[in-house]
Amino acid sequence: MQQNAAPGPGEWAEFKKKIQKSSTLKDLETIEQELFGRKSGAMTLAMKELKNLSPEERKDKAKELNEQKQSLVDHLEKLKDELIKPDSAMLVKSDSIDATLDLPKKEQGHLHLVHEFTRQVEETFGRMGFDVARGPEIESEEMNFNKLNVPEDHPARDAQDTFWIKSNKKGKDRLVLRTHTSPVQIRYMETHEPPFRAIFPGKVYRKDADATHSPMFHQFEGLMIGENVTLANMKAVMITAIRELIAKDTQFRFRTAFFPFVEPGLEVDMKWKGDDKTKEGEWLEVVGCGMVHPNVLRNCNIDPDKWQGFAFGFGIDRMVMIKHRIPSIKSLFPGDVRFLRQF
Ligand code: PHE
């Protein structure tokens, strides 16, 4: 009679089926309680019944119950593992990326107008076969003036126009913030054998400030030396550069001008419409250029009877002002994104 009260193998099999059918951890917990609950779990009760059996019967029954118990626990654990392991359907829900979702645009910056333009300059002249080199912004008086044939009494050497740097250097070694990129011509000629063509972009400094002048601004110098390089070659290079860098229909004019390091010397003006009210626009001086003076070639140990060529210096900021119709050079340097975002 007592034997009949204890669950038989059929009942354990029912529990196993129930376990298999469970789809949540909560279901499994309920079954676990039904089997192993301390007070009324089926297995707990069956184990308690053992003490009412005769010693022989008890031994066999205990063995059978222990096997069933182990098998039920194995089933439970296995299913628990499966339910805990995220299946692919769950992953799709929680980890998926919706490539069609329309997110707010991330703000993307761009190079500053001056640097963007400088890269275009390097590309444009690169296509014409020009190398790119750079020189220091702190120069000696020798490099910035003397070797460029600038006379002792030239006003550019004046403390009113040039930033001189305090140091214990004397004479031609005195230091200045370079007033133009022309000293890089000297550095390049002293270290290269002609023929060559190169440009030298960078910052320059002058004591000047208004709508079209800034105490720091950008230039790119150019130099082309060969046996038969002429003023006509120079004009062709200038015109190509202006049209490519600003616009095909940019208005410009060549004027004669004086620079001690060229002979003859020219200047190029371009039409600047910085202000919408002045429809006509006004001429802005943008380039100084000319045939390299024989004294300059000699100063760099290049024989002027064999070699000749041209040099030029473009004002980068002014070209940017013309290209983008910017009314004041001062807008270019504070780094105000409200200004920069417009381009
Ligand atoms: N260095 C001159 C300037 O800054 C420009 C220039 C360069 C003129 C080369 C002639 C030749 O004004």
Asked if 181 contacts 187 with a C-beta cutoff of 8 angstroms, the reply is no
Compute the mean pLDDT over every residue in the chain, rounded to the nearest whole number: 91
Indicate the top mutation candidate among 259, 267, 314 to test ligand 1's pocket, ranked by most ligand atoms within 8 A of CB. Answer: 259
Nearest CA to ligand 1 atom 8: 288
CATH 3.40.50.880 fits 113-340, yes or no: no
Q: Which CA distances in Å does 243 have to 121, 264, 288? A: 12, 24, 17
Q: Which atom of ligand 1 is nearest to the CA of 288?
A: 8
- Long-range pairs, 43-46, Cβ under 8 A, ≥24: 43/68, 43/69, 43/72, 45/6, 46/6, 46/7
Ligand 1 centre to CA of 259 (Å) is 7
Please give the average per-residue pLDDT across 121-149, as a whole number.
97
How far does residue 132's CA lie from ligand 1's centre (Å)?
Answer: 17
Q: Is the CB of 259 within 6 Å of ligand 1?
A: yes
Q: Which of 47, 226, 56 is nearest to 129 (CA)?
A: 226
Indicate whether residue 246 lines ligand 1 (CB < 6 A): no
- Nearest 5 degrees, angle CA 83-CA 86-CA 90? 110
State mean pLDDT over 238-260: 95
pLDDT in tens, 136-176: 999 999 999 999 999 889 988 888 899 999 999 999 999 99
* pLDDT category of residue 1 using cuts at 50, 70 and 90: very low
Measured from the CA of 315, which atom of ligand 1 is nearest? Answer: 4
Task: Kindly report, residue by residue over 288-310, the tens digit of the pLDDT.
Answer: 999 999 999 999 999 999 999 99
Distance, CA 319 to ligand 1 centroid (Å)? 15
Q: Residue of the nearest CA to atom 4 in ligand 1? A: 180
Residue 230 is encoded by which pair of tokens?
Answer: 């002429």
**pLDDT one-digit tens code per residue, 74-95:** 998 888 888 887 666 677 777 7
Instruction: Write the CB contacts of 143 (distance below 8 Å, at least 6 apart in sequence).
Output: 178, 183, 186, 187
Q: Where are the domains of the chain?
A: 2-95, 113-340
Answer yes or no: is the C-beta of 182 below 6 A from any ligand 1 atom: yes
Band of residue 3 on the pLDDT scale cut at 50, 70, 90: very low
Quickly state the pLDDT bin for 6 (edges 50, 70, 90).
low
Q: How far does the centroid of ligand 1 lie from the alpha carbon of residue 56, in Å? A: 117
